[in-house]
Amino acid sequence: MGKTADADAAPQLLPAILGMKVNEDSFQCHAMQRVVGLGIHGAPFFGPIIPPKALHVKAPFSRPLLQCHRLLCTKASKGEDIASKARAFYRSLPHLVPQDFVEYFSVFEGFLPPLKDVNLPIREAIDTLIFNHLDALRPRMEGGLSPQAKAVLMRLAKGDRKMHSITKKESISQLQGRSIYKQLFEAGLIQKEKSRELPLKTHPKQRLKKSLRHYQVEDKIHFSSQFARFWFTFVAPHADLASMQRHLDFGFESHVSLAFELLSQSLLFHDLAPLEVVHKGSYWDKRHEIDLLLEVEDGRIIAGESKWKNRKVCKNILNALERKCDRAALHVTHFVLFSKSGFSKELERSQDARVWLYDLSEFERLRDD
């Protein structure tokens, strides 16, 4: 994507969008009684400045911050699913080509409403709008979080999304874990995806193999916004800017891949409309993980994989998906593959009507339709 924005004006984008009165050299807020906050769901909100003492509490949140997040969640995400978020985001930045849209969405969805007239390469946009203003953003993203709550969010950002596994790995008791999750849910920072795995025990007296006796079906949690996920992946865990940038160099493509998975679901919902998707999301059990598993009201069951890789998707990906579905006893009628870099000739020449292929160009429909 070409750089068409005025480079000299770029550092002024954030304060301009926020509507803040700032000192050009230090980005200091002049309004000291009420200040525009930067919300994780994309809505600016007015909230009280949190006194420094309120940031050092035993509870996962200080009450003023929790109230601000509740207000934000109610205002920005009520009735809003990932498909509507994706469409709204793309329509606010219609000049982006699909690859840039996916990358911008993975960072800035939930950052500012709307992020308009920004046409910088993604890494320059991150530097300009995030890394150059860490001191202003950090209190809004981390203020009031206990060390345990912050640890849970950073573990979640690493990709470990099973609820009990996260708290266990952080040596957090079940009682404290429930309290932390409750407040993170209420604050609008995270949301739950229920497992569709059937319990291993079908009746109380059933005896399981010794290796399975301690296994439990677990729900997963997700960040409610991509910006929060970006923050707790690349900013919160690191003490200095150089470390943040090194980890961004190494981990950005992996970070984008989860957003691509969510956007792939959004596009599939779009193409299935007006039919209702009865069950949606991903699927996991003790042995298998499937990116997408949807049940449509007409009876079709669709399983899919999303690949954000710099190589074409080949037939072996489809074969692996079919095997996973068979082993998990999922009665799938259609298979869908999403690819950043297109598909092999073998897949493109396939006449199998059960298989649907989506490359990046298809995502323009989220903006245009």
- Its domain, for residue 356, covers 260-368
Give the total residue count for the chain.
369
Give pTM, 2 decimals. Answer: 0.75
Query: Do the domain assignments include residue 298?
Result: yes
Least confident of 100-109, 167-176, 335-344: 167-176
**Considering its fold, how many domains does the chain have in total?**
2
Task: Indicate if 313 and 170 belong to the same structural domain.
Answer: no
Task: Indicate if 233 and 296 belong to the same structural domain.
Answer: no
Count Cβ atoms below 10 Å from residue 368 Cβ, excluding itself: 8
**Cα 64 to Cα 87: distance, rounded to the nearest angstrom:** 32
Query: Phi and psi (nearest 5°) for 191?
Result: -145, 160
Query: Do the domain assignments include residue 204?
Result: no
Better pLDDT: 244 or 182: 244
Which CATH number characterizes residue 157's domain? 1.10.10.10
Task: Indicate if 276 and 129 belong to the same structural domain.
Answer: no
pLDDT tens digits, 284-296: 777 788 999 999 9
Which CATH number characterizes residue 316's domain? 3.40.1350.10
Average pLDDT over residues 55-84: 42
**Cα 87 to Cα 114: distance, rounded to the nearest angstrom:** 12
Under the banding of pLDDT at 50, 70 and 90, the label for residue 209 is low
Task: Indicate if 179 and 320 belong to the same structural domain.
Answer: no
> pLDDT at position 278, please?
86
Task: Indicate if 189 and 267 belong to the same structural domain.
Answer: no
Query: Do the domain assignments include residue 254?
Result: no
Task: Indicate if 94 and 194 belong to the same structural domain.
Answer: yes
Average pLDDT over residues 54-68: 36
Contact status, residue 350 vs residue 337, Cβ threshold 8 Å = no
CA atoms lying within 13 Å on the CB side of residue 2: 1
Task: Indicate if 182 and 292 belong to the same structural domain.
Answer: no
Q: Burial, 133: exposed, middle or buried (Cβ in 10 Å; 0-12, 13-18, 19+)?
A: middle
Q: Which residues, including other chains, have CB under 8 Å from residue 350's CB and lie 6 or more apart?
A: none
**Cα 305 to Cα 87: distance, rounded to the nearest angstrom:** 21
Candidates 358, 361, 335, 334; CA nearest to 348 is 358
**Cα 166 to Cα 177: distance, rounded to the nearest angstrom:** 9
Task: Indicate if 231 and 351 belong to the same structural domain.
Answer: no
Candidates 285, 310, 88, 67; CA nearest to 293 is 285
Task: Indicate if 345 and 310 belong to the same structural domain.
Answer: yes
Task: Indicate if 282 and 221 belong to the same structural domain.
Answer: no
DSSP symbol at 235: I
pLDDT tens digits, 94-151: 999 999 999 999 999 998 656 888 889 999 999 999 999 999 999 989 888 888 889 8
Please provide the distance, in angstroms rounded to a whole number, between the alpha carbons at the two ends of the chain.
Answer: 22
Count Cβ atoms below 10 Å from residue 82 Cβ, excluding itself: 18
Q: Which residues, including other chains, have CB under 8 Å from residue 242's CB and lie 6 or more apart?
A: none
Q: What single string gives the DSSP state of each residue in 280-321?
A: -S-EE-SS-EESEEEEETTS-EEEEEEE--SS-B-HHHHHHH
> pLDDT at position 316, please?
97
Task: Indicate if 329 and 184 belong to the same structural domain.
Answer: no
Least confident of 38-42, 82-86, 170-174, 199-203: 38-42
Query: Do the domain assignments include residue 305?
Result: yes
- Strand runs labelled E in 175-241: 190-193, 220-223
